[in-house]
Amino acid sequence: MLKSYFARLPLTDRITFAKDLSAGVCYGAFAGLALPLVSIVARRIGMSPAGITAMVTMQFVGALFGVLFGHLADRRAKMPFVLWPSLLARALIGLLAFAQTPVFYLVIVSVFNLLINLGGPAYSSIMRTNYSDAHRGRLMGNIRIVIMAVSTVMSACAGILLDVDEAMVRWLFLAASVFGMMSALIFARIRVRREPAVLSRAPESFVGAFRAVMRNGPFILFMGILFLGATPDKLAVPLEPIWLVDYLHLGYGEASFLLGTVVSMASIAGYYMWSKALRRFNSFTVLAAVVFLFALRFAALGLARTSAQLLPMSILSGIVNAGWDLVPIFCIIALADRSNFSMYIGFNTTCFGIRGLIGPSIGTFIYSTGVLPLGGIFLMIAALLMVGAASMLVFSRGEGARPAARADAR
């Protein structure tokens, strides 16, 4: 069956998919063993709300460099921009096994978060060049289904081990680091397909490339609307660990199950659902649906009063995470110039960084001043996301409904 599946693919798709699949298996193990536990362990070893805010905010600081890294990836070999940040970040997770104090833990996770978004523009560009338009959505969706399936199994195993002995969390971080580095090295073996004719038309200077992006009116409008659908949740970044640990008293085993196993299983369904939706509807309509479900996710979180009541939130988290991972790149492909595509992805990454720096600070301020109770903040976020979903739906019926015509014109 697998041989028949590969035989139906074009040669470049087939070779890329085989290596991407192997890398995905290892990444799934890395994600399932470590990522659901990072914020929970931080709170358990005594990290303050301010420390958690600083720790998680670093991923947004790294994202600020997206527009620069995107430009460099358009002008140079793309793979090193994916390999080295990924390899170093995943190696750092192994050092958490030796973290005894909040300060050391804060430094390691902060550097990890600083690095994880740097390779995003180059990675997205590789996905565009190496997967054909006809197969890209299905293949990217299938890779992510495999990642989530492996992550589900590994997070379930982690939960079982932690129920027996919570000290095993240190060994889980070490094992996760090994799997993560293996994933980066396997992915680096992909031979990136080049487009010399397209690359020759890309602006040589950073300023020229940036101006070209800014002249793309529909893309800038999309970025503005995306701000409404992707900023409110950033308020909750430093607050969720506090809600889960201090108010709902979530244990390690429960965290691995609800934030790992359940989320991963829901993500499998989400990737299948979103990849199928992308073949039937325009990508902007699909993104509006993602934001709407995101609003429901925060409503479920704000209404939960026990750890058992987090199950709907966990299911929606998996579905929405899959949507955010898969759908925006298709929206950008529909609007972006092919000549400097990585720059467009980098521009989006930088906007993500700006949103991420603003949001957590506002969330921490609202919580610390007592303007709203913690559950009320999550409900406020849900209401704001509803506005973002409605705006994206309007865009999908207007400018967003004509991306194909613009692409043909270019």
DSSP 200-263: TTS-SSHHHHHHHHHT-HHHHHHHHHHHHHHSGGGGGTTTHHHIIIIIS---HHHHIIIIIIIH
pLDDT (0 to 100) of residue 86: 96
Question: What pLDDT does residue 402 have?
Answer: 60
Q: Confirm whether 4 is domain-assigned.
A: no
Question: How far does Cα 199 stand from its chain's mean position?
Answer: 27
**What does the pLDDT read at residue 148?**
83
What integer is the mean pLDDT of 59-73? 90
CA angle 279-280-283, nearest 5°?
A: 70
* Mean pLDDT, rounded, for 233-242: 88
Task: Give the other-Cβ count within 10 Å of 394's Cβ.
Answer: 14
Instruction: State the total domains in the chain.
Output: 1
Whether residue 115 lies inside any domain: the answer is yes
**Residue 304 near residue 297 (C-beta atoms within 8 A):** no
Alpha-carbon Rg for the chain in angstroms: 21
Q: How far is CA 7 from CA 10, 20, 167, in A?
A: 8, 16, 47
For residue 117, is pLDDT > 80? yes
* Residue 5 domain flag: no
pLDDT value of position 410: 41
Question: Which tops the pLDDT comparison, 193 or 61?
Answer: 61
Residue 409, domain member (yes or no): no
> Can you give the residue range of the structural domain that contains 391?
11-194+204-404
Do the domain assignments include residue 168?
yes
What is the C-alpha to C-alpha distance for residues 277 and 292, in angstroms, rounded to an integer? 15
| Largest Cα span, the chain | 61
- Residue 188 confidence (pLDDT) above 90: yes
| Residue 198 pLDDT grade (very low, low, confident, very high; cuts 50, 70, 90) | very low
In a domain, 1, yes or no: no
6 found inside a domain = no
Residue 404, pLDDT score: 45
pLDDT tens per residue across span 256-275? 788 878 888 898 899 999 99
Q: What is the CATH number of the domain that holds 79?
A: 1.20.1250.20
pLDDT the model gives residue 75: 82
What's the whole-model pTM score? 0.83
Sequence-distant contacts of 366-369: CB under 8 A, at least 24 apart: 366/235, 367/49, 367/239, 367/242, 368/49
**Mean pLDDT, to the nearest integer, of 132-161?**
87
Which H or E run includes 69? helix 66-75
Q: Is 2 inside any structural domain?
A: no
pLDDT value, residue 407: 43
The reported pLDDT for the residue numbered 366 is 92
pLDDT of res. 265? 85
- In this prediction, residues 306-317 reach a mean pLDDT of 91
* Nearest-10 crossing angle of helices 49-63, 341-369: 160
